Structure formats: C-alpha cells, structure tokens
Structure 1
C-alpha cells in the first residue's frame, strides 16, 4: 500500500492496515485519525510522536503478539510473518547459539516477567544474545524504557516498510 491509498481508506480499514505494526489499538486509532498525511516523513513523525505516550501497560499488551527471539512465530497473520522474517538470523544460528538464546530468554523472563524484545531486523544472532545479556543487568525501570524503545523501532520499521 502507498501513502495515498492509506490516506483514502475509511478509518476502520486504515487501523486494520497498520494493525500488524504493533498490537496497541489506541496507537492504531490515533494514527488513523491523524490522516491525511502530506508525506511519508509526516506520517512517520506522527507515528513516532504517538509512541512517546506508551506506558508499561502498552508494552505488556504489545508483547502478547511477539514471540520469543529464536522461537518461530506461529500463525498466518501478517504480524507472525513479519516476526519470522525479522528473526531470520536466528534460523541460521548454530545449536549452541540457539541454546544460549533459550537460556537467556528464560533468565530474562524470570527477572522481568515478560518476553525479551529487541528489534531483530538487521541484527545477527550473536548481537541479539549480547544485547539480551547486557539488558539482564538492568533494573526494572531502565529495562522497561529500553524495551519500549525497541518496540518503537520495530513499530516504525514495520510501518515504513508497509507503506513503501
């Protein structure tokens, strides 16, 4: 879809068109309501501005739609397909790296009570593991801020890619 098509959609269809970007309905609603956009840059700026209001509750809601790093996203939905594509580096990882990521995911979930989230696109499996290990040293507020930033990056990347 291009920007002109997105601008022309009925509000409910516009929300549905960006639902795969992040599972936060109020963000979808607000972005759809802000149309029309004069340019892709204006759309991305508004989308990013709207992400700044996200809270820990929004993070928890969005994480329900994100698989663990290294685990294959199930389902035929667009979001599952994007997760599989974004995490493709883990599909090529050796057994030791996959095991280290599983152990890291378990440690992260035990420490923070949620799935580890990172913008996987463009990162190697080794880099994602190093980031997971680094983030295990965070306190809760620091890690929540970093996880929200990763969610913003994922969301904006998906939005940009869907409108190019």
Structure 2
C-alpha cells in the first residue's frame, strides 16, 4: 500500500515562503521562467509531481530561457570556485590528467565559439573521458539539434538537483 503523505523534504519545500522557494529553485536551475512555473504549481504531493512539472516547464522554455539556464553552469572541467554543486557534478574531471583538462579546455572553447554557450551535459556519474567524447560528438551537431540536446541534459540535471532539494535533511 502506498503512503499518501508528502515526503518531509517536499513538505518543507512546499511550506517555504515565495522568495525562499524561488531562491531554492533558481539554485537548481538559473532559468527564471522555469523556476516561476514550478513555484506557481506548488504545493506538490509527490516528488514525481515535482519532476513532471519540471519536465513540462523545461519543454516550454524559449531559446532565451535556455540561455539563461545555461549561464548558471560553469564549463566542464572548471567548476565554480566554492560551489559544492558544480564540484560534485563534475567530479569525473577532478582526477583527470593535465592532457585531458587541456583537451577539454580547447574543446569547450571551440564548442562555445560555435554555439555561443557552454557545453552542457549531465556530468553526474560520467568520467572525464566520457564527457570529452560526448563533447567531440556533439560539436558536429546543428544548432537546432544541439539546443534540444541541451534542453534534455538540463532536464536531467534539474531532476538530480530537485531530488537533492527535497531529500536533504537541512532546511533550504
């Protein structure tokens, strides 16, 4: 039999005032449009409801909204100093050789030159080599194709971050 009670972390998120909830959502994804859509749909009964709302909001983002979301992500191999989230998500690059780090820097710059934004991939659980190989593969994409891949990768990242948001014991 399934429980009908809201998980404690999700209940805590639902109970946050608007400003605190918006800040927590913007920590998960830098798109204001995405965060506002999720905020407007509170309260959530289940984590799956939150994920469904996130996926729907992600599907509706404009190109400008996607750019805003991507601006919140540092390049692969260069996590934001003092940011445990980007360091945790990019852990696969932490032990990378100097050669791989140098190659990633060059590839990141070429990608950014072509597409006008950082290479975005759900890096959680990936090795540096896997991220490099994905970058090498995706740099050949057409801009429209790459935008939809970025949208899907952002969706994956958002689910991971939302899970942390509603499962962590500490208040937001």
* TM-score, normalising length: structure 1: 0.92
Q: Distance in 1 between matches of 2:21 and 2:79?
A: 28
Q: CA deviation at 1:65?
A: 1.6
CA contact (8 A) 1:86 1:121 kept: yes
Q: Distance in 1 between matches of 2:112 and 2:24?
A: 31
* Structure 2 gap ranges (5+): 1-7, 168-172
Match of 1:106 in 2: 109
Deviations 1:94-153 (A, max 9, x none): 111111111111111121121111111011100000000000110111111111111111
Match of 1:33 in 2: 40
Match of 1:162 in 2: 165
CA contact (8 A) 1:11 1:33 kept: no
Aligned mate of 2:15, from 8, 26, 31: 8
Pairing 1:1-164 to 2, within 5 Å after superposition? 2-74=9-81, 76=82, 80-164=83-167
Q: CA deviation at 1:23?
A: 0.5
* Structure 1 gap ranges (5+): none
Tell me how many residue pairs correspond in the alignment. Answer: 160
Q: Distance in 1 between matches of 2:55 and 2:147?
A: 18
Question: What do you get for the CA RMSD once the two structures are aligned?
Answer: 1.3
